Amino acid sequence: MRLTQSIIPSLLLLAAGVAQAASAWGFDDGNLSIVAKKSGETIKEKLNHKAPLQKPVSLGSSDTLKLSLTAKDNGKGRRPHQAFLVLQESESGLEAPFPLTVKENGKAAAQISHKDIPVQLLVAKKPLKASVVLASFGSAQGLNAPVFEVKIETDPTVPAPAYEKPLRYGKKPEIHHIFRPDPKSPPKIVSLIFTLAVIVTLPALLVGWAILSGNLTHLSKAMGTAPLSHATFFGSILALEFVFFMYYTSWNLFQTLPVIAAVAAVTVLSGTKALGEVQNRRLAGER
């Protein structure tokens, strides 16, 4: 039963197609109206499949777009199988078809408001291109004609519809790591001035001691009494400073420590003698 049901209309259409060979689909009485819900205002435009409307119409968030037309096959009102109003986003080419409700005599109508339109088209910046597609089985030439453009007006008080692009595999934006800035030094001239100021304190100290009548006159006496101890003691103090210098420039701690131990032993051994000599001089009232 089903099968015959499905075959009969196609057979009818087939017969019709043979009868009206090389005919073409078109429409008459094309009317476009935009009804604003709040103000009740209505904008009406006449539609023609030969020439689309010059200016885009605008569709607010609470408005309803109504389209009515009479589909004609070679001037005779008939019902086409395919009667769509297609909205197309001009940048991506994305389309949304809206089937028209068609009566036997070809009278077709459609109502579109914001909630019917997919969100991808709602967020479009440019006006959507609307075209009417009328076609059916048989040999009649179908009609696919741009008829008008519609601009989607969003209500500023209502949050814009959220649209997140679906994930697509592709290249991602490049990332280049931003390095921390290198540590900075003050201008060299400042460092140099302060270095100079530090160095100048040494002659100042020596001059100060000289004014306070510091001298080295007992050197020959000390060297005469205990030459070996004084030479080694003072030498070991110098050597210790040299060890510190080597530690600063190249040695590591494990190279440094044994050398310090050796130098320290020498310092203690020679120091007892050398400082004994200094004590003797003090006891003799010569210091």
Partner 1 sequence: MRSLLSVLVFVLAAVVSAISTSGNRLLVILDDVAEKESYSKFLGDLESRGFQLSFENPKSESLALFRLGERSYDHILFFPTKTKGLGPNLTPNLLVDFLNAKGNILVTLSSGVAAPNSLVSLLAELDIQLPADRTGLVVDHFNYDASSAADMHDVLLLPPPTRIRPDVKDFFGAGAGQDEVLVFPRGVGASLGASELLTPILRAPRTAYSYNPKEQGEVVDDLFAAGEQLALVSAFQARNSARLTLVGSAEMLQDKCFEASEVSKADGKKVAGTFNREFAKRVSGWTFNEIGVLRVNWIEHHLEEAGATNESNPKIYRIKNDVKYTISLSEYAWNAWKPFAVPDSDALQLEFSMLSPFHRLPLTLDATHSSDTAAAYSVLFKLPDQHGIFNFKVNYKRPFLSNVEEKNTVSVRHMAHNEWPRSFVISGAWPWIAGVGVTVTGWLAFCALWMFSAPVGAKRETKKTQ
Interactions with partner 1, residue window 23-52 (CB under 8 A): none
Q: Which is nearer to partner 1, 258 or 285 (CB)?
A: 285
Sequence-ordered list of residues with C-beta below 8 angstroms from that of 280, at least 6 positions apart, any chain: 225
Q: Is residue 254 involved in binding partner 1 (CB under 8 A)?
A: no
Locate all alpha helices (DSSP H) within 112-165, ordered by sequence: 119-122
Residue 147 phi, psi dihedral angles, 5° rounding: -115, -35
Which of 161, 159, 164, 151 lies closest to 89, judged by CA?
Answer: 151
Helix (H, G, I), strand (E, B) or coil at 152: strand
Q: Is residue 185 involved in binding partner 1 (CB under 8 A)?
A: yes
Q: Are 85 and 129 in contact (CB under 8 A)?
A: no
Helix (H, G, I), strand (E, B) or coil at 166: coil
Q: Is residue 207 involved in binding partner 1 (CB under 8 A)?
A: no
Q: Is residue 91 involved in binding partner 1 (CB under 8 A)?
A: no
CB of 79 to partner 1, least distance (A): 7
Measured CA to CA in angstroms, residue 93 lies from 87, 89, 96, 121, 129 at distances of 10, 5, 10, 10, 10
Q: Which is nearer to partner 1, 192 or 265 (CB)?
A: 192
CB of 114 to partner 1, least distance (A): 19
Q: Which is nearer to partner 1, 14 or 259 (CB)?
A: 14
Q: Is residue 238 involved in binding partner 1 (CB under 8 A)?
A: yes
Query: Could you tell me the sign of the dihedral formed by the alpha carbons of 18, 19, 20, 21, in that order?
Result: positive
Please identify, among the stretches 26-34, 69-77, 92-100, 154-162, the one whose residues bind partner 1 according to the rule CB under 8 A: 92-100
CB of 153 to partner 1, least distance (A): 25
Q: Is residue 234 involved in binding partner 1 (CB under 8 A)?
A: yes
**Ranges within 110-149 binding partner 1 (CB under 8 A):** 133, 135-139, 142, 144
Please identify, among the stretches 35-43, 54-62, 154-162, 187-195, the one whose residues bind partner 1 according to the rule CB under 8 A: 187-195
Q: Which is nearer to partner 1, 80 or 127 (CB)?
A: 80
Around 27, how many Cα atoms within 13 Å sit in the side-chain half-sphere?
35
